[in-house]
């Protein structure tokens, strides 16, 4: 059911229409990305294309994009574990966030460049088709306080390995005051903010920071392409105000004025005072909130992959889907000590269902990387720790999966052709 068509595939189609009418018709026939055609030399993987060369438009050569690979290897690195992935479908590039390292590969998994030297926590990613940049969540938590940013990577300028995040200028940052304010809230009012620990009544909504990020339509009005940022939420089974996922939406089209270089020893606070929208999803407490957030243009729904929670009165699913066809409802935010009204999003009433809590969801993957191809397929990431020469290193891989909606696990690997 294609309720929303503004997705990556739609953007791809737009770019292809200019190539040749014959190409456009091939796509319109439902062939999708795997058989779409593009100008030669545009995609990093074009060298492996079949080169059908049917160029009807004069000298321009058009060739088939290679089939999307059933997996893309993000490599093995001395870093933190895989946190998120992003795809530039038009250029055939994938991005992998390894906590303190961003790796850019082509779709054969060949590394083309990387950005290193973060002392903070680089989390989930998404690719913004409108400006060609990669956006990621970036957290600095210290015992004293925290700074949360969106890191904007100038993707085209990532052209070699180990580019320094601070000195090369490929990263700019925008400060998220709303997320910092909620994180730093002294909830028990004892005059002391307890800092970076889960074992406290402090942190509004139990916030531990930010992690999941994704571009998609405005929840309120259904159009546009807003950056949606999900909170991390500490695992804590002894409080009730942490049973919601929290999502902030930002229109980033005016963010140029906020962007500052990344300077870790002199953190800035340049960013929007408030988000354009703040939304809550009642799922029950999870371990560090939304790990990966992704908008699926095929269904118009949003996927929230989490590390399972531990509260006995919740089903503790690992994947939640927000129903994109339902507008937010204004109501009480569950569990808050001082009654608070907010915009509540609805879970898609499919999959597993826990009647007592009313929570729907699945036991599915996507916590380390989740990319919708907007055609019913996803790249779902896997990761592992391996010893290389006695040193622990981290692997990451995106694996092509079909969404089946089956329970408990809604994903099934796409078989190699
Ligand atoms: Ca994460
Ligand atoms: Ca306190
Ligand atoms: Ca994401």
- Ligand 3 center to 84 CA (angstroms): 6
- What pLDDT score does 54 carry? 32
Give the start-to-end residue ranges of the domains of the chain.
Answer: 8-64, 71-413
Ligand 1 centre distance from Cα of residue 121 (Å) = 9
Q: Which ligand is nearest to the CA of 307?
A: 1
Q: 135 alpha carbon to ligand 3 midpoint, in Å?
A: 9
Q: How far is CA 148 from the centre of its chain?
A: 16
Cα(285) to centroid(ligand 2), Å: 20
d(CA 167, CA 88): 25
**Over the stretch 81-102, which tens digit does the pLDDT of each residue have?**
999 999 999 999 999 999 999 9
Residue 19 Cα to ligand 3 midpoint, Å, equals 30
Distance 260 CA to ligand 2 centre (A): 32
Q: Closest-lying ligand to the alpha carbon of 369?
A: 3
Residue 106: per-residue pLDDT = 97
Distance 305 CA to ligand 1 centre (A): 10
Instruction: Say how many Å lie between the CA of residue 325 and the centre of ligand 1.
Output: 27
Q: Which ligand is nearest to the CA of 191?
A: 2
Per-residue model confidence (pLDDT) at position 48: 31
**What are the 10-residue block averages of pLDDT along the chain, 417 residues in total?**
40 36 33 32 31 35 63 98 97 97 98 96 97 97 86 98 96 98 97 95 98 97 94 98 98 97 91 98 98 97 98 98 98 97 98 98 98 96 96 98 97 89
Ligand nearest to the CA of 192: 2
38 burial (CB, 10 Å; 0-12 / 13-18 / 19+) is buried
Question: Ligand 3 centroid vs 227 CA: distance in angstroms?
Answer: 10
Which residue, chain included where needed, has tokens 């933190």? 80
Q: Is 281 within 8 Å of 242 (Cβ atoms)?
A: no
Q: Is 22 helix (H, G, I), strand (E, B) or coil?
A: helix
Closest residue by Cα to residue 136 from 168, 197, 95, 188: 95
Look up the pTM and report it.
0.85
From 2.70.98, 2.60.40, 1.10.1200, 2.115.10, which CATH number describes the 71-413 domain?
A: 2.115.10
Ligand minimally distant from the alpha carbon of residue 99: 1
Ligand nearest, relative to CA of residue 136: 3
Any bridge partners for residue 77, and if so which? 394
Question: What whole-number distance in Å separates Cα of residue 238 and Cα of residue 77?
Answer: 37
| DSSP-derived secondary structure for 262-331 | --TTS----S-SS-SEEEEEE----EEEEEEEEEETTTTEEEEEEE----TTS---SEEEE-TTS--EEE
Question: What's the 186 CA to ligand 2 centre distance in angstroms?
Answer: 4
| Ligand minimally distant from the alpha carbon of residue 194 | 2
Q: What is the pLDDT of residue 1?
A: 39
Structure tokens at 238: 């002894």
- What does DSSP assign to residue 19? T
Could you tell me the distance, in angstroms and rounded to a whole number, from the CA of residue 229 to the centre of ligand 2?
25
Alpha-carbon Rg for the chain in angstroms: 21
User: For position 265, what pLDDT does the model report?
Assistant: 86
For residue 150, count CB atoms less than 10 angstroms from its CB and return exposed for 0-12, middle for 13-18, buried for 19 or more: buried
Q: Which ligand is nearest to the CA of 138?
A: 1
Centre of ligand 1 to C-alpha 211, Å, is 6
The Å distance, Cα 183 to ligand 2 centre, comes to 12
Q: Which ligand is nearest to the CA of 187?
A: 2
pLDDT, position 264: 87
112 CA to middle of ligand 1, Å? 23
- Closest ligand to residue 215's CA: 3
* Ligand 3 mean position, distance from CA 48 (Å): 28
Rounded to the nearest whole angstrom, what is the distance from the C-alpha of residue 97 to the centroid of ligand 1? 9
Question: Tokens 């095929």 belong to which residue?
Answer: 298
Q: In angstroms, what is the span from residue 185 Cα to ligand 3's centroid?
A: 26
275 CA distance to ligand 2 middle (Å): 25
Other Cβ atoms less than 10 A from the Cβ of 267: the count is 16
Ligand nearest to the CA of 190: 2
Asked if 281 and 314 touch (Cβ cutoff 8 Å), the reply is: no
């Amino acid at each position: 059911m294609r309720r929303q068509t503004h997705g990556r595939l739609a953007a791809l189609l737009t770019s292809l229409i200019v190539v040749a009418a014959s190409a456009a018709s091939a796509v319109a026939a439902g062939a999708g990305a795997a058989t779409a055609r593009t100008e030669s030399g545009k995609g990093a993987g074009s060298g492996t294309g079949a080169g059908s060369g049917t160029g009807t438009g004069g000298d321009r050569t058009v060739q088939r994009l290679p089939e999307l690979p059933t997996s893309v290897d993000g490599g093995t690195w001395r870093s933190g574990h895989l946190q998120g992935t992003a795809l530039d479908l038009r250029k055939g590039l994938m991005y992998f966030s390894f906590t303190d390292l961003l790796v850019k590969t082509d779709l054969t998994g060949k590394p083309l460049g990387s950005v290193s030297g973060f002392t903070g926590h680089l989390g989930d990613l998404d690719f913004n088709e409108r400006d060609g940049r990669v956006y990621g969540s970036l957290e600095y938590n210290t015992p004293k306080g925290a700074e949360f940013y969106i890191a904007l990577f100038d993707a085209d300028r990532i052209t070699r390995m180990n580019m320094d995040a601070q000195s090369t200028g490929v990263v700019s940052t925008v400060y998220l005051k709303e997320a910092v304010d909620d994180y730093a809230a002294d909830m028990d009012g004892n005059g002391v903010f307890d800092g970076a620990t889960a074992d406290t009544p402090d942190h509004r909504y139990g916030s531990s920071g930010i992690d999941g990020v994704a571009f998609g339509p405005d929840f309120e009005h259904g159009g546009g392409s807003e950056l949606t940022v999900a909170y991390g939420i500490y695992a804590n089974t002894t409080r009730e105000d942490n049973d919601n996922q929290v999502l902030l939406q930002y229109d980033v089209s005016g963010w140029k004025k906020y962007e500052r270089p990344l300077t870790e020893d002199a953190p800035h606070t340049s960013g929007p005072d408030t988000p354009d929208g703040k939304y809550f999803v009642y799922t029950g407490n999870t371990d560090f909130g939304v790990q990966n957030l992704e908008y699926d243009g095929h269904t118009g729904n949003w996927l929230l992959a989490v590390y399972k929670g531990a509260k006995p009165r919740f089903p503790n699913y690992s994947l939640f889907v927000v129903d994109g066809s339902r507008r937010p409802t204004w109501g009480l935010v569950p569990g808050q000590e001082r009654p608070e009204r907010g915009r509540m999003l609805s879970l898609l009433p499919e999959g597993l269902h826990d009647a007592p809590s009313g929570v729907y969801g699945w036991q599915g993957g996507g916590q380390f990387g989740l990319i919708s191809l907007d055609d019913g397929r996803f790249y779902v990431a896997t990761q592992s720790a391996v010893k290389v020469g006695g040193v622990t290193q981290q692997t990451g891989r995106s694996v092509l999966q079909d969404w089946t909606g089956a329970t408990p696990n809604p994903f099934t690997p796409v078989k190699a052709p």
